[in-house]
């Protein structure tokens, strides 16, 4: 039963995180002039429209990854108008960054909850930190469940934030350059990003660089969360 409850906690946080990420993309696109995601019902914090759009990434893959590794990962997506993105490339870049910004908000929310929990003597600094044990409960029961939830919220959203900001296609970070390129260079770059082969190669490279990159950022984040403990 503990294992089932743990899986439910992971899945609840994953679905909330993916939904908020995609809803942020959709909301930003609608505000910036592309109503495609809005018309598809994606500007919502209700996870069902997002699950219906990506059932494999939001249901099947999380279950398989948990069974294989003991933690969950997955993905979702948001529709957009490619012609709008070509015409308004800087707006499209901002729309791309809205998703990782949503994950950053969740990371900061977890940090706030952990700091409040420690100051209220609900949580304490753990001797050993893992993805689902970023903070430790001062007592069992509800406090322990909350400690696990905020730990997963912190770790999972930091993973999604860092991975999606890697500047390789098809990840959100690949569009950051569009904020700085000239119109002619941006058009060539967008054509490069749309090539299926380049997107596949980008994903392969991103997986290779993610582990060392995340290790550094994760350690940095922990030392900011718990100043003076010098995690390494």
Q: Is 22 a residue of the active site?
A: yes
Cα 144 to Cα 83: distance, rounded to the nearest angstrom: 49
* Element spanning 112, H or E: helix 89-119
Cα 136 to Cα 144: distance, rounded to the nearest angstrom: 7
Catalytic residue chosen out of the listed positions 22, 83, 127, 211: 22
CA distances from 79 to 27, 168, 196 (A): 12, 19, 17
Burial of 75 per CB tally in 10 Å (0-12, 13-18, 19+): middle
Among residues 100, 101, 79, the alpha carbon closest in space to that of 30 is found at 79
Active site residues: 22
């Amino acid at each position: 039963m503990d294992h089932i409850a743990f899986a439910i906690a992971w899945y609840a946080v994953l679905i909330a995180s993916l939904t908020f990420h995609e809803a942020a993309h959709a909301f930003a696109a609608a505000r910036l002039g592309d109503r495609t995601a809005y018309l598809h019902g994606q500007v919502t914090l209700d996870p069902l429209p997002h699950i219906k759009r990506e059932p494999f990434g939001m249901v099947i893959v999380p279950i398989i990854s948990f069974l294989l590794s003991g933690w969950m990962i997955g993905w979702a997506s948001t529709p957009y108008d490619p012609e709008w993105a070509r015409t308004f490339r800087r707006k499209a870049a901002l729309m791309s960054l809205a998703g990782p910004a949503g994950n950053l908000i969740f990371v900061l929310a977890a940090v706030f909850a952990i700091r409040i929990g420690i100051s209220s003597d609900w949580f304490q600094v753990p001797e050993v930190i893992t993805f689902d044990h970023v903070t430790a409960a001062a007592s069992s029961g509800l406090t322990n469940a909350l400690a696990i939830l905020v730990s997963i919220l912190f770790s999972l959203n930091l993973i999604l934030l860092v991975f999606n900001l890697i500047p390789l296609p098809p990840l959100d970070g690949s569009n950051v350059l569009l904020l700085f390129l000239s119109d002619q260079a941006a058009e060539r770059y967008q054509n490069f990003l749309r090539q299926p082969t380049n997107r596949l190669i980008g994903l392969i490279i991103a997986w290779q660089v993610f582990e060392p990159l995340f290790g550094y950022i994760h350690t940095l984040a922990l030392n900011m969360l718990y100043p003076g403990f010098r995690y390494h």
